Amino acid sequence: MRIWLICHLLLLCWASAARADLGKLEYLTEEYPPYNYSDAQGQPTGLAVELLQMIWKNSGVTPQPIRILPWARGYYLLTQKPNVVLFSTARTEAREALFKWVCPIGYSEYILLGRKTQNITLTSVDEMSKYRISAVRSDAAEQLLLNNGMDDNNIIPANRLNQAVKMLLSGRADLLATSKLAGYDAIRELKLSSDDFNVAMVLSAEQLCYAFSRQVDDDEISRFQHALTLALASEEFRTLQAKYLPLR
């Protein structure tokens, strides 16, 4: 009986510590459907948001506020503040040492998207600098362009993905660098036909994760990862996948 009581008290102490630590983090995201975006009432929703709610539940953490910001702003805050979580963040080689990671939320293929009327197809990354390419500031797609030797003078930055799509439509850009899923979702949101676009080149495929400021304690990262692992193994997560990623 005494041993059971001690174990129970230790478990309560661990749960209290988890609540105190994970509850002090600042959770940031962007408009990136179907993983994270604003619903009709302006509230955060999406697969990654509901998965985060499962993580909080598994950790005994009270649900926390989630701020939706332009990606470049959220990314900047992640690099500057000590207790930030930003999602859904592509875990690229260039970012690996900059943050701490809890993965995976999912996976994303990054592409160069063009207009079919232009019929642009690239066979190597060396050809990219022949074109003007729009990309969201600080997005993984923009970083992949730079990492592959793209001339930065030919990258046209946008604050949001729908703005980058409009640059492609207007002819200001020849190609759009984006994740495939988000790019085609933006096209549908703008009431355009996906048949009018083509994949000119595949840049990379990356894990999508929760990225943490480097100052976040490793114990908190471990607790978060454990809670995510439990969530991913659940029937509830399979329901989420069917809800947000049907036949994708």
Chunk the chain into consecutive blocks of 10 residues (it has 248) and report each block's average pLDDT, rounded to whole numbers: 46 42 88 94 97 96 96 97 97 96 97 97 94 96 95 95 96 97 94 97 97 97 98 97 84
Instruction: Specify the pLDDT at position 160.
Output: 92
d(CA 48, CA 69): 15
Stretch (H or E) spanning 28: strand 26-29
Block residue for tokens 């993983």: 35
**What pTM was estimated for this model as a whole?**
0.85
Determine the pLDDT at residue 242. 96
Query: How confident is the model over 45-78, as pLDDT tens digits?
Result: 999 999 999 999 999 999 999 999 999 999 999 9
Please tell me the predicted confidence (pLDDT) of residue 24: 87
CB atoms within 10 A of CB 237: 17
Q: For residues 190 and 17, what is the distance between their CA atoms, to the nearest angstrom?
A: 46
Cβ atoms of 158 and 135 closer than 8 Å = yes
Helix%, strand%, coil% for the chain, nearest 5: 45, 25, 30
Q: Which helix (H) or strand (E) holds 54?
A: helix 47-59
Q: What is the pLDDT of residue 246?
A: 86
What is the reported pLDDT for 227? 98
> Does residue 110 contact residue 178 with C-beta atoms inside 8 Å?
yes
The C-alpha atoms of residue 61 and residue 16 are separated, in whole angstroms, by: 9
Question: Can you give the pLDDT at residue 247?
Answer: 63
| 3-class secondary-structure state, position 83 | coil
Three-state secondary structure call for residue 102 = strand
